Amino acid sequence: MKTIHVHGAPSEYILQKGALDLLESKLIERNHKKVLVVRGVKSWEAAKAYWPTMEQIEYDEYIYGGECSFEEIEKVSKLVLSQEYEAIIGVGGGKVLDLVKATGNETHKPIILIPTLASNCAPWTPLSVLYDDAGSFIRYDIYPVSASLVLIEPEILVMAPVDLFVAGIGDTLAKWYEADIQLRAIANKTVPMMIAHYTAEQCKVILVQSAVEAVRAVRNGEVNEEFIKVVETIIMYSGMVGGFGDHFGRVTGAHAIHNGLTMLEETHHALHGSKVAYGILVQLVLENRWNEIQRLVPFYQQLGLPLSLSELGIDGITDEMVNEVAEKATIPEESIHLMSIGEITSTRVRDAILALEKYYKELKI
């Protein structure tokens, strides 16, 4: 019998105009009278106009140092315990929310998450991605307790930078391609695997249908229906894929290509989700699914997602650079080896990157 292991959702999740006005009553409901608010600088710029006046709640603010690191988790945890805060509220992007989740786990205090970016599923998942203070990835930790409450004000998200939103779309699109290649190879799927497969597909379906209009909403700074659908897809559907699919719903090819690309200095300015979006195409070449690439091309072009190394900002591509990416993407511990299409060597990846470059050049003629 297959083991069934599911990670759940936040206890309560509210997305509505004016969501932050509910904060005080939601804290009172939970009997939290003294809380710590952890936030970033830019995220506070975005959220402060929506911050409610609270008469019955005592709160202090902590501005995070820019990373979800062990040092930062320890610092915030000590503060929470010494000042006897009853709950921790995170206001920010993925890093602030991950820091608050880690601190909640460390101190056994409930957490409330208020995302200021629609960039990934961090508001949904009971996990944090950990880095050192210099920003290098260490590992991710999964926690036994999820957020007590997620409050989402769509007007904050629609005013955020469009490139971060587009990158979030790229990262979420990968959920389908990376989960599907694992899950379609499993004959007798468990129910959670079926849910993961379905939710991963919805990530692609909704993005393809609604992302262009949603990006328009961000450009105009005005919420529309498609924007809400895409936000829910980035945060909720995408979070459910990993929650139900466990490792079958997590990364495979596209993220391994992303990791390979980080070897090139020239890609460091590019956002995570843009590199992952490019990685989807390389994964599809490896799968020999050129028709699917052809279907994605107009979508990528409309959103400004990269179709080639040059569109990622790498000029003067050399064989050496491509080899470096391919080597790193195929190191033994990489998720690319979870793809069910035979052995993936660095030569195969190099050939796939070069084939995509050739396809792109022909497309441009």
Ligand X SMILES: NC(=O)c1ccc[n+]([C@@H]2O[C@H](COP(=O)([O-])OP(=O)(O)OC[C@H]3O[C@@H](n4cnc5c(N)ncnc54)[C@H](O)[C@@H]3O)[C@@H](O)[C@H]2O)c1
Active-site amino acid positions: 171, 255, 258, 272
User: How many residues bind to ligand X according to rule CB under 6 A?
Assistant: 24
CA 210 from chain centre, in angstroms, equals 18
What minimum distance in Å lies between the beta carbon of 298 and ligand X?
26
Q: What angle do CA 17, 215, 242 make, to 5 degrees?
A: 80
**345 annotated binding-site participant:** no
When binding is defined by CB under 6 A, the residue of 15, 62, 98, 306 that contacts ligand X is: 98
The reply on whether position 169 binds ligand X by CB under 6 A is: no
Query: 152 φ, ψ to 5°?
Result: -125, 120
347 is in an annotated binding site: no
| Residue among 192 and 273 whose Cβ is closer to Zn ion | 273
Q: Which is nearer to Zn ion, 30 or 337 (CB)?
A: 337
Q: 64: annotated binding-site residue?
A: no
Q: Token digits for 91?
A: 């206001």
Min dist. Cβ of residue 268 to Zn ion (A): 16
- C-beta closer to ligand X: residue 261 or 326: 261
Torsion of CA 147, 39, 215, 10, to 10 degrees: 0
Query: Which residues, other chains included, contact 268 with Cβ-Cβ below 8 Å and sequence gap of 6+?
Result: 262
**Does residue 34 bind ligand X (CB under 6 A)?**
no
**Alpha carbons 169 and 237: distance in angstroms, whole number:** 12
Helix (H) or strand (E) holding 346: helix 346-364
Decide if residue 346 touches ligand X (CB under 6 A): no
Q: Which stretch binds ligand X (CB under 6 A): 48-56, 86-94, 331-339, 351-359?
A: 86-94
Instruction: Enter the tokens of residue 44.
Output: 């506070």
Residue 125 is labelled as binding a ligand: yes
Residue 72 site contact among ligand X, Zn ion, none (CB < 5 to 8 Å, cut-off depends on kind): none
Find residue 69's DSSP bridge partners. 131
| Beta-carbon contacts of residue 75 (< 8 Å; ≥ 6 apart) | none
Least distance (Å) from Zn ion to the CB of residue 57? 35
127 labeled part of a ligand binding site: yes
Restricting to residues 117-146, name those near ligand X by CB under 6 A: 117, 119-122, 125, 127-129
Q: Please, what is the minimum distance in Å from the beta carbon of residue 36 to Zn ion?
A: 28
Q: Any binding-site annotation on 7?
A: no
- Rg of the Cα atoms in the chain: 21
For residue 65, count other CB atoms closer than 10 A to its CB. 15
**CB nearer to ligand X: pick between 39 and 328:** 39
**Part in contact with ligand X (CB under 6 A); list of ranges 23-31, 88-96, 258-266, 351-359:** 88-96
Residue 263 burial (C-beta neighbours within 10 Å; 0-12, 13-18, 19+): middle
Q: Is 5 annotated as a binding residue?
A: no
Longest dimension (CA), the chain: 65
Residue 10's binding partner, choosing from ligand X, Zn ion, none, with beta-carbon cut-off 5 to 8 A by kind? none
What's the CA gap between 41 and 68, in Å, rounded? 15
Among 77, 105, 116, 346, binds ligand X (CB under 6 A): 116
Residues in Cβ contact with 344 at an 8 Å cutoff, skipping those fewer than 6 apart: 286, 330, 336, 337
Name the residue nearer to ligand X (CB basis): 230 or 353: 230
Tokens 């409901």 belong to residue: 29
* Closest to 66 in 3D by CA, of 93, 86, 105: 93
In the shown chain, the binding pattern of residues 158 to 177 toward Zn ion, with x for contact by CB under 5 A and - for none, equals -------------x------
Task: State the binding site for glycerol.
Answer: 171, 255, 272
Residues that bind ligand X (CB under 6 A): 40, 42-43, 46, 68, 92-96, 98, 116-117, 119-122, 125, 127-129, 156, 160-161
